[in-house]
Amino acid sequence: MLEAFIVTLWIEYNGKLYVKEADSITRNCELTTRDLYEKFKELPNMKLKAVKCDSVQSFTERRDYFNGKR
């Protein structure tokens, strides 16, 4: 069975770090990460600092935990 992943990005812009969840879900984390780093190489004012792939279940559990729904 193929597992879906939610991708979280850490982006540096104007000296500040931002966290953003990608707009879509992917099934191939490695390929998506590689593509993201390639796209960000073309953007001189933004740097992709980190990428994290979470399964839908772990993303939901972590979100609930940090939003006080334990």
Following DSSP, what letter does each residue of 25-59 receive, concatenated?
EES-HHHHHHHHHHHHHT-TTEEEEEEEEEEHHHH
Q: What is the pLDDT of residue 62?
A: 83
Confidence check: pLDDT of 2 > 80? no
Query: What is the per-residue pLDDT for 13?
Result: 95
CA distance 28 to 49: 20
> Is residue 1 scored above 60 in pLDDT?
no
Dist. CA 46–CA 34, nearest whole Å: 16
pLDDT at 70 over 70: no
9-61 pLDDT, tens per residue?
999 999 999 999 888 889 999 999 999 999 999 998 999 999 999 998 888 88
Token pair, residue 23, equals 């707009």
